[in-house]
Structure formats: structure tokens, C-alpha cells
Amino acid sequence: MIHRRLVLWNVDLTLLDVARVTRAAYAEAFAALTGRPLVQLPQMVGKTEPEIFFDALGRNGVSLRADGESEQLLAPFGAEFATRLAARKADLTAQGHLMPGAAAAVEAVAALPGVVQSVLTGGSRPNAALKLRAFGLDRYLDLTVGGFAGSEPYPMGALLRAIRFKAEEKYQASFTEKLTVYIGDSPRDVEAAKTGGATSVAVASGRASTVELRDVGADLVLSDLTNPADLITLITAPA
């Protein structure tokens, strides 16, 4: 079987920042579904959409009953959130922005022979696709093999392994752990890479500093993506 390289990107704060638009859409969806205003928004960085939702319920006085009622709200909330975010499509580029060097880095990796690029994100499939499409990054990424923790009931590490299996089936090629790279911006991204069996690249474009990212054991730490030379060297290094 042919050996190929698999490069996975986190989306928010690694490739782009649309937090202002996301927060507005989230607040609208929360109020529409629960009948309560979103007074306190949970910390979103490094968390999956389900984690954020359940935290938001607790912080905003929505009863978390033991009979599974809160879990039953998750799917309709996800659909409502996706609808509200899609309605703000034009705001994504008007009020959001690409992270420094992100577009050039993704394009440079796409030009490497034998590389498949996709995403591993805590967001849902429709929301991630919407954001990437707004900034023209989707053309470089195969989202059909991506992992979306907002749409799939698995932890990030397990999703990473699932992406590898999906890519192997689609491309009829072997994507070994040594040939898989995950690029994110948070300590939890580094943890997901370790759990899922991938080389971790941490970019200090989010809330974590380069020191924090080194301390959690990232294989490569970058201050930003403006000079992707080290990233390219890591991706193309002999297995």
C-alpha cells in the first residue's frame, strides 16, 4: 500500500478568528431554543460544541435534569446554531479575519506531493465548512475525511484515529501515525494529537503562549504561521 502524509488543521484561532460572529449567532440560538437570554457565555477556546452547550446551560440557569433532557436539546440547538451562523455568512469576513500566514501555509502544504489535508475541530461539520468556505480555505482541504466533534459523539483523539481510517479507505493509501500531523493552538489540541497518534504542531495564535504549548509536549511550537518553513520541514521529514 502507498504511504501518504495526512495533515489536519484545527479551525478556530488556528486558521481564522470569527469569534465575534460566532458569539452573536450562539446567543441568538440559545435564546431561541431555551427561552432564556445568554447572559454568561462559557469559555469556548479548546472546547467542543457539545461541551460549550452543556456549560452554557448550567451558567445561564437552565436546569440540567438527570433524565437526559439536556442531552435531547443538543441536536436541535446544533441545528439552530448552524442556521443562525449561516444567516451571518457575510459577517464572517466583514467582522472576522484569517490568522497571520494561515492562507499561505495551507496553500504551501497543499502543494506538497503525497499530502492530504483536512480538519479536526471541536465545531460541527456545517459550521466548520461555512467558515472555511468564507475565507476560501476549503479548496485546499478534503472535508469528507475530516473530524467534527460538534457533529460526532467522540473525543478529539478518537476522531483523529477515525480520520486516518477514512482517509485510508478513500485514498487507498496508508497514513501511519508517523505520517500524520495535527496543527492546533491549544493544549487540548496537543493532547488530542498524543491520544490519536499524531505529531503535534502548536501555534501560539490562540490563548496559550509558546511556553505553555512547549510545556504540554508539542512536537513543534510556532509563534504564528507567517513563516511555514519549519512546518514544511516537519511534514516532509523522513518517517
Of 66, 94, 122, the last residue of a domain is 94
Residue 14 and residue 122 in contact, taking contact as beta carbons nearer than 8 Å = no
pLDDT score of 45: 73
* Same domain, residue pair 12 and 119: yes
pLDDT score of 70: 67
| CA–CA distance, 177 with 97 (Å, rounded to integer) | 32
Of 73, 94, 115, the last residue of a domain is 94
CA dihedral angle for residue 102, residue 26, residue 144, residue 5, rounded to 10 degrees: 40
Cell of 115: 499530502
* Same domain, residue pair 176 and 110: yes
Count of structural domains, the chain: 2
pLDDT score of 1: 59
Q: Are strands 180-184 and 220-222 parallel, antiparallel or unpaired?
A: unpaired
Of 60, 94, 128, the last residue of a domain is 94
* Same domain, residue pair 23 and 122: no
* Same domain, residue pair 110 and 123: yes
Whole domain around residue 35: which residue ranges?
19-94
pLDDT score of 55: 86
pLDDT score of 191: 96
* Same domain, residue pair 227 and 181: yes
Q: Is 101 left (phi over 0), alpha (psi -120 to 50) or beta?
A: left
* Same domain, residue pair 160 and 78: no
* Same domain, residue pair 10 and 128: yes
* Same domain, residue pair 220 and 109: yes
* Same domain, residue pair 208 and 104: yes
Segments of the chain with pLDDT less than 50: none
Domain at 144, CATH number:
3.40.50.1000
Sequence-ordered alpha helix ranges (H) in 13-136: 19-34, 49-59, 69-87, 89-95, 102-110, 125-134
Q: What is the pLDDT of residues 76-133, one digit of tens each?
A: 999 999 999 999 999 999 999 999 999 999 999 999 999 999 999 999 999 999 999 9
User: Taking the model in full, what pTM does it have?
Assistant: 0.94
Q: Helices 49-59 and 19-34 sit at what angle, rounded to 10 degrees?
A: 60
* Same domain, residue pair 118 and 211: yes
Q: Which of 198, 203, 226, 199 is nearest to 213 (CA)?
A: 203
* Same domain, residue pair 117 and 228: yes
Q: Which of 172, 171, 144, 146 is nearest to 160 (CA)?
A: 146
* Same domain, residue pair 191 and 231: yes
